[in-house]
Amino acid sequence: MSLISCIPRCRVITIKRFHTHGAAVIGNIDGLDRADLTTAQLMKKVKPFIWPKSDVPEASRIKLTVMKTGALIFGAKGLSLAIPIFWKDLVNTLTAIEAGNIPSLENVAVISAPFAAYAAVSLLEPTVDQYKSYTFATVKQSTTRKIGRGLVEKLFSLDHRFHTNRETGALLKAVDRGNRAISTVLHATCIVFTPAMFQLACTGAFIWHFCGPLYAGSLLLSSGLYTAFSVKFTQYRTPYRIAMNKADMDAGNLATDSLLNYETVKYFANEKYEATRYDGKLANFEQAALKTDRTLALLNMGQQAILGSCLLFNLGMASGILDFGQASIAAQTMSLGEFVMIASYFQQIQRPLSFLGSTYRDLVQARTDFETMWRLMEEQPELGEGTRTLSMDQDLEVRFNNVRFAYGDGNQILNGIDFSIRPGERVAIVGGSGSGKSTLAKLLFRFYDPQEGSVQVNGEDIRDYNLKSFRERIGVVPQDCVLFNDTIYNNIRYGNLNATEEQIIEAAKVADLHRSVEEMNFGYDTIVGERGVKLSGGEKQRLAIARCFLKDPEIVIYDEATSSLDSLTEQRILSSLDKATENKSLLVIAHRLSTIVNSDKIIVLKDGKVAEMGNHAELLALNNHYRKMWDIQSNEKDTSKKVSENDGAEARRRKSIAMIMEPKTCCGGKC
C-alpha cells in the first residue's frame, strides 16, 4: 500500500444545500461532516487540468510541458542516485593512491576520471532539479487558475437561496484554502511522492547490488517504519488540525462581521466589546494551535529518531561494530568507498523521507480543503433552466398565474396571486411589510420558483426559458443598492459593459446623479468604497437607477427605488424615468403612494393575496385598504407640512427678537 493511499478520510467543511421543497440539508461550514473522496478520485478530478483533452485550448502545450517536467523529475533523481556511486569510485581511487598501489606518475590521470564524473553529476543534479520546479510551475499555476475560474463560475451559477444561507467569511476562506490545496496536491504527488518512491526503490536495489541484502533490507525496513509512524501519528493529529481550522474560521467570521458592521459598533460605542469577543475566538484558536504545534514537534522528533537510528545501525554494520556476517570494513570485505557510499545513500534518502513526512501532513489537510472546494464545484443549482430564448424584438407580457410561495422556514408569503403586466404597462405593488411585494420581484427575476402556479412570459412558463437570455431583458433597481468597490464610472458601466462614455454620462443625468458627481474631487473616477459606503443613500440609489437605465431592459422593476431620496429629487427622477421608460413594462414596488398615482394598475397585497386592483381613482372610490393607506400618508404629509410651517414661524419669531435685542439695531450701539 502506497503512502498516498494511506491518507485518512478526513472531516471536511460542507456547504448548506437546499432542495426544491425548501428544506435545508443539515450541514454548514464547521468541518464536522465526513469526506468520502479517495486519493484516486482526487487525482482523477485534477487529471483533466494536467492532461487535457485534445479539443481544449493549448492542450498540446500543456501536455508537452507535463512530459518535459516528468523527464526532468526522473532525470534529476537519476543524477542524484549516481552521486554516491561516483563518490565511492573517487574515495577508492584516493585510498589506492594513499596506499601506494598506483605509481605516482599516474596519480593525476587516474584521479581525473572519477573526480570529473563526480563533479559533473554534482553540479548538474541541482540544476536539473531546479529547472524541474521552473517547468512544473507553469502546469501548477495554469491548473490552479482554471479550477479557480471554474469555481467562481459555479458559485455564480448557484441559486439565490444558496447564497442567502451561506456564511460569507467561511465560504471565502474555504474557497481560498481550496485554491491553495490544488498547488499542494500537485506538488505532493508529482514533485515529492512519485520521485521519492522511485528514489527509494532504486537506492534499495543499488545497496543490495553493492553491499548485500542486509543493508537493503535495513533501508526498506526503516523506510516502512518511518512511513507507518508518519501515517498513524498524522491521523492522530488530524482532529487537532481540524479544530484549529474551525477556530480560525470562527475568528475570521467574527472579524468580518464586526468590520462590516463598523458603523453599528460606533453607534453603540462597543469597540471594546467587539475586541473582547474577537479575543475569545483567538483564545480558542490559540489553544487549538498549541495542540497542533506540539503534536507536530512530537511527530518530527519521532521521524528523526527513526532515521537517525537507521543510519547508525547501518554504519555500525558497515564498520564491523555490529557483526551479522555482512560485508564490513573490519572484515575487509568492504572498501572505504563502499562505506562512504552507504553513508551517502542513507543521508540522501533522509531528505525525501523528511519531505514525505511533512508533505503527507500537508496533503492530508489539502485533501480536506480540496474536498470542500470540490463539493462546491459539484453543487447543483436548485432552479432548472430551459432552452427557449427571447428574441430582442419581441414584446414581453408577464402573468402571475395562481402563484403560491413560501421561503425555507415554511412561512407562506404568497397565496394564489393572479395579475398580468402588458407590454408598456406600469403596474404598482403596494401593501404592508411582509405582504410579499419584494418576493414578487424575486420570482419575476427567477431568484426563486413558486411552489405552486407559474410566472409566465408571453404565455410560456419562465422555467422554460434560458436564464441569461431572460434576465438580460429585465432591469432591477433594488431597495438596498450594493456597489462594487470601484469607481462611479465603472459601477454605472456595469449595467452595459459595452456602453460608451457619452451613454454612461447620459444615464447619470437621467438619474439626476451627474451634477453630484461633477462636484466630487475625482468626478466619475471617485472610488465608492466597499459596498458603496463613501456615497450617501440617495447617491447610491441614483447610481443604481443610472445603471438600470444604461442596461435598457424591456421590463423594469423598481423595488422602492426612491425611498432614500428627498421629495424634490424623487419627483425629478420619476419625471425623467417616465420619459426614459416610455413603452417599457414597469413593476413598481412602492411605499409612498404619491409616487404611483399615475400607474395604469395598482395592486394592493394583504396576507399574501391580491386584496384590491385598479387605478388610483378606482381604488380610492372603493374606500377600503388603499383608501386607508392613502389617508394615513396624506395626514402624515399634512402634519409634516404643518410642523415645517410652525418651525419656520418660530424661527422667524426668534430672529425678530434677536434683532430687537441687538444693540446696534436699537440705537446704533450707544445704549
State pLDDT tens for residues 113-169. 888 888 888 889 888 888 888 888 888 888 888 887 878 788 787 776 777 666 666
Per-residue pLDDT at 1: 39
**346 has pLDDT over 90:** no
| Residue ending a domain, choose from 320, 348, 378 | 378
For residue 54, is pLDDT > 90? no
Q: What is the pLDDT of residue 176?
A: 79
Task: State the pairing for strand pair 601-606/426-431.
Answer: parallel
pLDDT at 389 over 60: yes
Q: How many CA atoms lie within 13 A of 103 on its CB side?
A: 3
> How would you label 528-556 residue by residue, b for 16+ Cβ within 10 Å and e otherwise?
beeebebbeebbbbbbbbbbbbbbbbbbb
**656 shares a domain with 603:** no
Q: Using the 8-state DSSP alphabet, how is residue 435 labeled?
A: S
CA dihedral 610, 611, 616, 619 (to 10 degrees): 150
Which is more confidently placed, 639 or 141? 141
One domain, residues 582 and 641: no
Confidence of residue 18 (pLDDT cuts 50, 70, 90): very low
As a whole number, mean pLDDT of residues 572-590 equals 76
- Amino acid found at 70: G
Range among 12-26, 75-89, 380-394 rated most confident: 75-89
Decide if 385 is inside a domain. no
Q: Work out the pLDDT band at 601, boundaries 50, 70, 90.
A: very high
CATH of the domain at 547: 3.40.50.300
Vertex 298: Cα angle to 296 and 304 (nearest 5): 100
Domain stop point among 326, 346, 378: 378
Spell out the SS3 assignment of 510-528. Answer: HCCCHHHHHCCCCHHHCEC
pLDDT tens digits, one per residue of 65-88:
888 888 998 898 888 888 888 888
Backbone angles phi, psi at 3, to 5 degrees: -60, -40
- Check whether 634 has a pLDDT greater than 50: yes
Task: Specify whether 423 is located in the same domain as 352.
Answer: no
Can you say whether residue 480 is alpha, beta or left, with left for phi > 0 and alpha for psi between -120 and 50 degrees? beta
Q: How far apart are CA 390 and CA 611, in angstroms?
A: 32
DSSP 8-state assignment for residue 23 = P
C-beta separation of 600 from 615 below 8 A: yes
Report if residue 390 sits inside a domain: no
Domain of residue 516, residue span = 398-631
* Residue 277, in any domain of the structure: yes
Q: If phi over 0 gives left and psi between -120 and 50 gives alpha, with beta otherwise, what is residue 58? A: left
pLDDT, one tens digit per residue, over 250-270 is: 888 888 888 878 878 888 888
For residue 478, which of 426, 543, 523 has the smallest C-alpha distance?
Answer: 543
Would you call 300 helix, strand, or coil by DSSP? helix
User: Do 368 and 476 lie in a common domain?
Assistant: no
Mean pLDDT (the chain) is 78
Q: Look at residue 545 and tell me whether its pLDDT is greater than 80.
A: yes
Q: Which residues contact 637 (CB under 8 A, 6 or more apart)?
A: 594
- Say what the pLDDT of residue 106 is: 63
Question: How much helix, strand and coil, in percent to the nearest 5, is found in the chain?
Answer: 65, 10, 25
Domain membership of residue 393 (yes or no) is: no
pLDDT for residue 604: 93
Rounded to an integer, what distance in angstroms lies between the CA atom of residue 343 and that of residue 461? 77
d(Cα 557, Cα 398) in Å, to the nearest integer? 12
470: which 3 cell numbers? 431572460
Q: What is the mean pLDDT of residues 281-304?
A: 90
Is the residue at 340 inside a domain?
A: yes
Asked if the model's pLDDT at residue 416 lies above 60, the reply is yes
Name the β-bridge partners of 559: 589
Question: Are 71 and 88 within one domain?
Answer: yes
Return the minimum-mean-pLDDT range out of 319-328, 373-382, 621-630, 643-652: 643-652
The predicted pLDDT at position 530 comes to 80
pLDDT band for 653, please (50, 70, 90 cuts).
Answer: very low
Does the structure show a pLDDT above 70 at 37?
Answer: no
Could you tell me the pLDDT band of residue 105, with boundaries at 50, 70 and 90? low
Position 289 pLDDT exceeds 70? yes
Are 146 and 51 in contact by the 8 Å Cβ rule? The answer is: no
Q: Is the pLDDT of residue 202 over 80?
A: yes
Measured in Å, how far apart are the chain's first and last C-alpha atoms?
109
Residues 559, 415 within the same domain: yes
Residue 403's closest CA among 365, 443, 364?
443
Confidence grade of residue 489 (pLDDT, cut at 50, 70, 90): very high
Strand partners, 558: 477, 588
Q: Indicate the range of 2-6, 102-106, 323-327, 644-648 predicted with least confidence.
A: 2-6
Cα 183 off chain centre by: 16
Say if residue 255 is exposed, middle or buried (CB neighbours under 10 Å; 0-12, 13-18, 19+).
middle
Residues 359 and 488 in one domain: no
Q: Domain containing 274 — which CATH number?
A: 1.20.1560.10
Whether residues 428 and 526 share a domain: the answer is yes
Tell whether the model's pLDDT for residue 38 goes beyond 80.
no
The winner for highest mean pLDDT among 29-43, 324-338, 620-634 is 620-634
What average pLDDT score do residues 244-253 get? 86
User: Does residue 158 sit within a domain?
Assistant: yes
pTM confidence score = 0.66
Please indicate, yes or no, if residue 384 is contained in any of the structural domains. no
Per-residue pLDDT band for 576 (boundaries 50, 70, 90) equals: low
* Burial class of residue 496, CB neighbours in 10 A (0-12, 13-18, 19+): middle
Pair 627, 638 in one domain: no
Per-residue model confidence (pLDDT) at position 264: 86
B/e letters for 264-285, b = 16+ CB within 10 Å, e = fewer, are ebeeeeeeeebeebeeebbebb
Tell whether 552 is covered by a domain.
Answer: yes
Answer yes or no: do 8 and 83 share one domain.
yes
Number of domains making up the chain? 3
Instruction: Report the pLDDT value the prediction gives residue 637, as an integer from 0 to 100.
Output: 58
User: Crossing angle of helices 194-211/59-99, nearest 10°?
Assistant: 30
Q: Is 536 helix (H, G, I), strand (E, B) or coil?
A: coil
pLDDT at 357 over 50: yes
pLDDT at 580 over 70: no
Domain identity same for 342 and 369? yes
The reply to whether 598 and 650 lie within a common domain is no
Round to whole Å and give the CA distance between 161 and 350.
52
Place of cell 422593476: 557
Q: What is the mean pLDDT of residues 283-308?
A: 88
pLDDT at 471: 85
Q: Is the dihedral of CA 454, 459, 461, 466 positive or negative?
A: negative
State the Cα–Cα distance between residues 532 and 528, nearest whole angstrom: 5
Beta-strand relationship, 585-589 and 426-431 = parallel
CA of 537: how far to CAs of 164, 260, 480, 544, 562, in Å? 23, 17, 9, 11, 10
